[in-house]
Structure 1
Amino acid sequence: MSEGISTKRLVTRLGLLVVGMFGFGFLLVPIYDVMCDAFGINGKTRGAAYEGAGSVVDETRSIRVQFVSTKAEGMTWSFGPQANELVMHPGETREMIFTAHNPTDKPMVAQAIPSVAPSKAAAYFHKTECFCFTQQVLQPGERVEMPVRFIIDSALPGEVRRLTLAYTLFDVTERMAASLDLASMQHPD
């Protein structure tokens, strides 16, 4: 009888362990986002709500902003900025246009994930408008210009003279197909 009780106790403990592991795995993404936001790591930047006090233009400094675009494995779109870099003053609002083209014969959905380097500068880089805030749906053969409007806070540490804004473009078509009903979105021939 004690062997049956110990087996039951073991199964219960293993079941609780599985539930705990699932819960921990489920919470990892929000925990990661909170930690990156709190510590400014992994190039996480603040979104459209920036109305910062550091928005006074500092014309005594110039910052070189480089733009990098990559595509995740399996992404067939062409994607990139209109220019590789620009020079600006902290506190100044600037814009860069990225272009994307869907060369396939099917509608596709993409999501761009941004990153800022050096990571200590991410807290001073504020996007006020960005194609990365939403998923992009492109029809077959469609080409689109997508702006990113941003401000570099004038409180940016003086030793930072160069920033890199990088985007990785991911194909999320399969994940979004059911909710967007992509088949009905195709243009009639």
Structure 2
Amino acid sequence: MTAIVEGRSANRVVAAAAASIAVAMVGMAYAAVPLYRLFCQVTGFGGTTQRALAPASAPLAQRIGVRFDANVAPGLGWTFKPVLTTVSPRIGEQTLVSYTATNNTDRPITGTATFNVTPESAGQYFNKIQCFCFTEQTLQPGQAVDMPVVFFIDPAILKDKQARRISEITLSYTF
């Protein structure tokens, strides 16, 4: 009789451990996306840009090319493009550029822009002060809007052995 009780007790321990592992795995699955996003924002991994309030120092004389790219997910019904396709700001210089978006449908549409920077090693030095990509954008039927981006390239890029050789950075958005 004691062997049966001990067997049931051992089964309960195994079942509780298995249930605990399953709950932990589900919790980690939910935490994976925000943790990965945080990791990318802190390190610039995958071309993720940084957020800043303002440049920390005066602009340098050296310039770097910045190219702008715009894409729209199939079926969104928007036209989206940069006003200028390239600029060459001084490193550390606060720069304002714009994109335009037009809702070509007969209904309001809300979109969110995802973004990245290439080459990826430049992501940690590309700092956005203001960007339409920080919030959702709702466009009414036929509405066209100007979407500004204010950014600067951190002068620390020149101290990075790999990144200091970069002559052009591409900022790409997809709605």
Find the aligned partners of 2:74 and 2:35 in 1 and give their Cα distance.
Answer: 26
The SS at the match of 2:110 is strand
Find the aligned partners of 1:16 and 1:28 in 2 and give their Cα distance.
Answer: 18
**8 Å contact 2:114–2:174 — kept in the other structure?**
yes
Q: Percent identity?
A: 34
**8 Å contact 2:126–2:152 — kept in the other structure?**
yes
The SS at the match of 2:81 is strand
In the other structure, the counterpart of 1:129 is 130
The SS at the match of 1:137 is strand
In the other structure, the counterpart of 2:45 is 41
Q: CA deviation at 1:165?
A: 0.4
TM-score by length of 1: 0.78
Q: 5 Å matches for 1:1-189?
A: 1=4, 5=9, 8-53=12-57, 56-59=58-61, 61-157=62-158, 158-169=164-175
Runs of 4 or more consecutive aligned structure 1 residues displaced over 6 Å after TM superposition: none
Q: CA deviation at 1:115?
A: 0.8
TM-score by length of 2: 0.83
Find the aligned partners of 2:17 and 2:125 in 1 and give their Cα distance.
Answer: 47
Find the aligned partners of 1:14 and 1:76 in 2 and give their Cα distance.
Answer: 48
Amino acid corresponding to residue 90 of structure 1 in structure 2: I
Find the aligned partners of 1:62 and 1:82 in 2 and give their Cα distance.
Answer: 20
Give the RMSD, CA atoms, in angstroms.
2.0
Q: CA deviation at 1:10?
A: 4.7
In structure 1, the gaps of 5 or more residues are 170-189
Find the aligned partners of 1:15 and 1:50 in 2 and give their Cα distance.
Answer: 49
The SS at the match of 2:169 is strand
Amino acid corresponding to residue 44 of structure 2 in structure 1: G
Give CA-to-partner distance per residue, 1:127-146, whole Å, 9 cap, x none.
Answer: 11110111101111111110
Change (3 A) 1:127 1:38: closer
Find the aligned partners of 2:103 and 2:15 in 1 and give their Cα distance.
Answer: 51
**8 Å contact 2:55–2:92 — kept in the other structure?**
no
Give CA-to-partner distance per residue, 1:70-124, whole Å, 9 cap, x none.
Answer: 2234322111101221122112222211011111222111111121111221222
The SS at the match of 2:116 is strand
Question: How many residues were matched structurally?
Answer: 166
- Structure (1/2) with the larger helix percentage: 2
**8 Å contact 2:55–2:154 — kept in the other structure?**
no
In structure 2, the gaps of 5 or more residues are 159-163
Q: CA deviation at 1:39?
A: 2.5
